[in-house]
Chain A
Amino acid sequence: MLSRLASRIYWLSRYMERSGNMAKITNAYANLFLDLPVGTEVGWHTLIQINGADKLFSKLYDEKTEDAVMDFLLFNEENYGSIYSSICFARENARTSREILPSETWEIINSLYLVSKKEKSERISKSRRYLYLNNVIHNVMRLEGMLNSGLSRNNTFNFIQIGRNLERADTTTRMLDVGSTLLTEDRSSILRSHEGVIWMNILRSMNAYQMYRQEVRRRVVGEDVVRFMVHNKHFPRSVAFCISSIREYSMTLPNPDEVISKIELLESELHNYEPEAITAKGISIHMDNIQKLLAELHNSIEDSWFNTNIDL
């Protein structure tokens, strides 16, 4: 398999996963907002902070209004993390790898792009925004299902899986980081008293609430959520599950040693962590560590398979 194609497939998968995650987070956050009492220090701008995009945002907009934040996160092209940007990038990658993917891949991504372009030009209302975000989420699911049933278990499939799982693990840690940031000791007591609501919405943003409830039968608290979302071996969006998937698919590719050694670092970070009675700060540090290791894992994937070493 050509390195260029492998890289395009990997990014195609990452960008699609990213656009779906972004849509879920936005929906869950809009929901959380309705549950928190007026006057807490959480606002629409918190969504910008989650994405680490304060600087870019204040360059592009004057005020942190709901409309401005939504426009920034959903449609702004200068924001490479916006849903629209992710879909455009996914589409460019799909366009140039059409010959190795089932034809529905292009159809799904292209139709999602066309819908997004239309919504972008029409400045949509709140209720339609909800429908649009659901449309994004459903199309990402549709693509995943179609590829699962329509693509041979070949290298293309391996890179789809690796891209998706890496993006998923990354989103999960970022969401947990948000939860812990909202609950650090320097926050107001009103906000901290809503700990349960906050964690529930975070679980929802990862489609995890139901499965969590089946597993954990007490009041929702941070350490349980972290245990479930990071360490649980059976839930497909947990970090541990994603990493073990990446390991599985990497093993079938040529020269996986570098990548496997990075996966082992991640595994030992997870293994050595004990979430009992941990502070919000502790969660945050743990998430940072995992994110750094995920970035290293990504680099080793690029080095091993995309940037072919040309020293003979």
Chain B
Amino acid sequence: MPFGWCDYDPGKFYDELFAAANSPRAASKKLFSYLETLDSEDVYNRKLTAESAIVEQGITFTIYSDGKNIDRAWPFDIIPRVIDAKDWEKAESGLKQRLKALNMFINDLYNQQNILKDGIVPEDVIMTSKNFRKECLGVTPAHGAWANICGSDIVRDSDGTLYVLEDNLRVPSGVSYMLENRKITKKVFPELFKGTSIIPVDNYPAMLFDMLTSIAPESTHDEPEIVLLTPGIFNSAYFEHSYLAQQMGIELVEGADLYVGDDDYVYMKTIQGLDKVDVIYRRIDDDFIDPEVFRKDSMLGVPGLMRSWKAGKVGIANAPGTGVADDKVVYAYVPDMIKYYLNEEPEIPNVPTYLCRDKEQMEYVIDHLEELVVKPANESGGYGMLVGPHAKEGQVEEFKKLIRENPRNYIAQPTLALSVTPTLTDNGFKGRHVDLRPFILQGEDSFVTTGGLTRVALVEGSLVVNSSQGGGSKDTWIVE
């Protein structure tokens, strides 16, 4: 047997590359037979190639520690995760369906509220959501699309079924790493790209640009001025902000660069004077975008931005107020929304979810905390969670208390047996758990990235894929 594969064992988990021991799935046959030709030295040399490419390309993520920012090299695994193009087609269509329904839902909430009147989604869930913004009532953004950029997290259970674990509708990040991962893999395994039909991923910036163009106000002439609004260098995703702005050839601006005039138009301050801005791709949370309307102490935003947006003089992606659908309680109702608005069956299922706001479900959750995953409704990045089977002492008791105090704010899901995929460790190839974050765009048209960002828990047995907590990533191949 060649290096590293003789004792490869995915255990009881679904393996992304292998149907059974030594029997690769159809889409990964070429990759596997190629990897078989490499010996140990070859493999670790490829790893070095990847590491130096990461340093050269300056791919970093920032973690905040001791009040100082530290740029860390991006942790990357060289073995790609492969998905069959036929499988992916289904997922793609399911993701478009999902975002379409979510956008109809948000537009409904801020206008007629039919879904509440018809009792499909309980009114109190929305009224108690901190991301429901009354300031947005009565607005319909271009094409009825509120969430223009969505990063949904998809996982595969032990029987191979894909589930949507959550929808990130506020300011999802990670797409730049998806693009960079492909560039690195091309340097590491150039031979493989010749013989395999791996669908390219690099059209994302162009698609994003087209989508942003499509939400420009109607009065705009043929070439709208588009900017990317960043909170600045101290944000953990600043690398991505700067990267996307460069890729699209648009200005990277901070709040202080923008100005809303008495005519309600947004302008940026340039050396020529004021330049009208038509579309803002904002990477700042709702709370901070406009101190006139939301947090008064925000130094990151632009006073008057909401005024301009409501007057239809600027397009904002994602639209303010979109976060209401990012609530994990709302998530539980997405399958119902799909039926309600589209009269269709959901193509990708939700993970079964218990809502603690329901007394019976709450009691069930409290009795079964050791086997469930509990999540707060409005956090992201894996914060404030309880993973029952891995809970530390006292944590279960703490969560019982938290849930009883604020049942609305908690949901629970069964602990999934996430799929694994071969990953290079110091001791050869081992199975490690992965998820997948595709990015879905919706403006005038819909678009889904080819695959997405595969995140991998590098620590043995771990289910946590967040880069701030020991996670890495790998290239994702959609193979025809």
Which residues of A are in contact with B by a Cβ distance under 8 Å? Answer: 1-4, 6, 95-96, 98-99, 103, 155, 253-255, 304-306, 308-310, 312
B270 pairs with A3, CB closer than 8 A: yes
Residues on the A chain within 8 Å of B58, using CB: 103
Q: Which residues of B contact A306 (CB under 8 A)?
A: 271
B273's contact among A6, A95, A103, A255, by CB below 8 Å, is which? A255
Within the assembled complex, what's the spacing in Å between the Cα atoms of A34 and B408?
79
Q: A3-B269, A308-B271, A308-B274 provided; 19 other pairs, C-beta below 8 A? A: A1-B270, A2-B257, A2-B268, A2-B270, A3-B257, A3-B271, A4-B269, A95-B233, A99-B245, A99-B252, A103-B58, A253-B271, A305-B271, A308-B269, A310-B259, A310-B261, A310-B267, A312-B261, A312-B262
- The minimal Cβ–Cβ distance linking B255 to chain A, given in whole angstroms, is 10
Asked if B253 is an interface residue, CB under 8 A from chain A, the answer is: yes
Q: Mark B27-63, 1 if CB is under 8 A from A, else 0.
A: 0000000000000000000000000000000100000
A-contacting residues of B (Cβ < 8 Å)? 58, 232-233, 242, 245-246, 251-254, 256-257, 259, 261-263, 267-274
Option from B246, B253, B262, B270 in Cβ contact (under 8 Å) with A308: B270
Whether B261 lies near A6 (C-beta < 8 A) is no
The list of the 6 closest CB pairs from A to B, nearest first, reads: A308-B269, A305-B271, A3-B269, A254-B272, A6-B271, A1-B271
Contact between A2 and B262, CB atoms less than 8 A apart: no
- A26–B232 Cα distance when bound, in Å, is 37
**Given A2-B251, A4-B254, A99–B271 Cβ distance below 8 Å?**
no
Residues of A within 8 A of B254 (CB): 4
B residues less than 8 Å from A155 (CB atoms)? 271
Would A4 and B259 count as touching, CB distance under 8 A? Answer: no
CB closest chain-B residue, reference A106: B58
Give every chain B residue within 8 A of A99 (Cβ-Cβ): 242, 245-246, 252
Instruction: List chain B residues, Cβ under 8 A from A96.
Output: 232-233
Residues of A with C-beta under 8 A to B252:
99
> Which residue from chain A places its CB closest to the CB of B58 in the assembled complex?
A103
Among candidates B270, B271, B274, residue contacting A312 with C-beta atoms closer than 8 Å:
B274
Q: Are A312 and B253 in contact (CB under 8 A)?
A: no
- Give min CB distance, A249 to chain B, whole Å: 12
Q: Judge whether B245 and A309 touch: CB under 8 Å.
A: no
In the complex, which residues of chain B have a beta carbon less than 8 angstroms from the beta carbon of A4?
254, 256-257, 269
Q: Which residue of A lies closest to B251 (CB)?
A: A2
Complex contact A312–B272 (CB within 8 A): no
Distance from B60 Cβ to chain A, minimum over Cβ atoms (Å): 12
